[in-house]
Amino acid sequence: MVENLAIVLLVFLSQLGIVSEDQNNAEFLTKLIKSEPIEEKFIFQEENWNYYSENIKLENKLFSLPNKTKDNYIDIDSNSAIAFDTETDFVLYSKNSNEKMPIASISKIMTALVVLENSDLSDSVVISENAYNTEGRKEGLSVGEEISVENLMKIMIVGSNNVAATAFAEHISGNVDNFAILMNEKTKELGLKDTVFYNPTGLDQKNMNVSTAFDIAQLVDYSLDISLIWEYSKMQSVSVGSLNGKLKHNIKNTNLLLGKMENIAGGKTGFTDQAGECLVLISNKPEENRKVITVVLGASDRFLQTEKLRNWVFESYEW
């Protein structure tokens, strides 16, 4: 099995130009089969590869790398973009995907992760005056209102609500600054080297949350195991209430692609003046049992560009 893997790997590397045709193949294969560290023999220079959190399992994934079937290339009208296959960790499209830039409410993906790792869905969150005064829509939330983590999470994810995000920060850590420490600890744990959080909302402030399209794709890939986040994100609308049942909140999803495009497994919008229009989308390709993550940052029209990118990926690759 190892010998077969080594042969397939050598052929693949030759196609990428990483191992030249005139290289001593027998010597290379002998060293590879002896399990000498591959990374000491060559470095993947293509954007198609990464070793994020040891997520890539070469032996299992080499045989399912996607093949590009069309030569046409698109230019997505955004400052940065990426399309990422979650099964093979293969970058299908990249535009400035390693450039740091503000990410607006895409930040709430990390906010949700930290909240779910540090609380129960049945816990009660109190909306403070400070949280209520956070910039953005109120969605009927009131100062002093008690609401469950589950319902407040739906408000934050579906409506991209900043009041909810701030209330969560206060509930978990006492204040926004302490909560940002937890966000950055998680960032370090996941190996997201180009990502820094200062608040749970993504709002433009003196210090803004920044990341790259590549890091965001890795964050989303990790978070797929926390299916609750993405189940909520697919809801076109949701109605939830306070713990005492006296207040009702009717929320519409900020992702306008829901109901327009098929096979959406989740998504998260973002917008500020500094970040521009941002969108994460998780798309299923059911006939091939695949998931593709797309990220656009600083787009002129996040929905149009995301639709264009996803359609191009599904038309251009086969697995």
Of 78, 80, 105, 242, the catalytic one is: 105
Shortest CA distance to 62 belongs to which of 2, 111, 104?
Answer: 2
**Helical segments of 91-210, H only:** 108-117, 129-132, 149-159, 162-173, 176-190
Handedness of CA 241, 268, 84, 187 (dihedral sign): negative
Is 237 one of the catalytic residues? no
Is 108 one of the catalytic residues? yes
Of 95, 108, 154, 308, the catalytic one is: 108
Of 160, 211, 283, 316, the catalytic one is: 160
58 is written with which tokens? 């070469």
Does residue 232 contact residue 156 with C-beta atoms inside 8 Å? Answer: no
Is 160 one of the catalytic residues? yes
The one-character DSSP state at 258 is B
The beta-carbon contacts of 189-194 under 8 Å, at least 24 apart in sequence, are 190/52, 190/53, 190/218, 190/219, 190/222, 191/52, 191/53, 191/218, 192/218, 192/219, 194/98, 194/100
Shortest CA distance to 190 belongs to which of 304, 259, 114?
Answer: 114
Catalytic residue list: 105, 108, 160
